Amino acid sequence: MPEGVGRRAFPARRRRHDPLMDPRIADQAADRIDRKLRAETVVWLSSVSADGTPHLVPIWFSWDGAALLIASKPHAKKVRNLRANPSVMLALGEPDEDFDVGMIEGVAELLDEPSAAVLPADHLAKYRGQMAAIGLTADEFLTTYSQVIRIHPTRFLPWHGRTAPASTIGVRSPDRRIAGAIRRVAAHVANATAASAARGAASTAGLSPAGA
């Protein structure tokens, strides 16, 4: 069983609350997975349907240092799932390299603008060879996969086995902009969740929350 760096680094009482983590640890985790996001071509996207059924698919993506962009068919199951529940988990990396992989928790946003208006040019350039191999032109890709999903990471979970993972070789100074953005999104999600729980508790008690 591989050992999780994230599991060792994050104390149990803090593991679910990124705003409370040691900023240095959060920065290191963000930097390591940022490196993987810039190198990988496929990310596994996990979503949950309205009835609680999990759904997992491999998919192409772009990463701008703060959010992931994914192009999807507008009526795909993952899109329906995200309309009901925007919470996602992503996984990337090759487990055969001593489990040098990364996992990301995040919140998905379904954009109104089509792929042709949102995806950066380097997204199409990144997958030019794969599209050509299956006879798919850039225009056909943009028309077919017109729904853009933007995913804002809220937590990075690097993972590896017993050896020093390749993703830590030549590590840069942590990009505090990335880590700061993640902590802001995580704090927003935590506050929204707490507010929702408070409203539910007030409703159960027969009370009307202030401002309702």
- Which CATH number characterizes residue 160's domain? 2.30.110.10
- CA 45/CA 151 separation, integer angstroms: 10
What is this structure's pTM? 0.67
In the chain, how many domains are there? Answer: 1
Angle at 80 between CA 86 and CA 49, to 5 degrees: 70
**Sign for the pseudo-dihedral over CA of 118, 81, 160, 186:** positive
Range of the domain at 86: 5-203
- 135-190 pLDDT, tens per residue? 999 999 999 999 999 999 998 886 555 566 666 655 444 445 555 555 565 566 55
Cβ atoms within 10 Å of 87's Cβ, excluding its own: 16
Helices of type H across the chain: 5-9, 23-39, 77-84, 115-118, 121-126, 128-133, 138-144, 176-204
pLDDT band at 100, cuts 50/70/90? confident
pLDDT at 120: 93
Higher confidence at residue 185 or residue 208? 185
Question: Looking at the domain assignment, is residue 209 inside a domain?
Answer: no
In a domain, 197, yes or no: yes
Question: Residue 96 pLDDT > 70, yes or no?
Answer: no
Give a yes or no: residue 208 inside a domain.
no
Query: Do the domain assignments include residue 211?
Result: no
Asked whether residue 199 is domain-assigned, the answer is yes
Q: Identify the pLDDT of residue 101.
A: 79
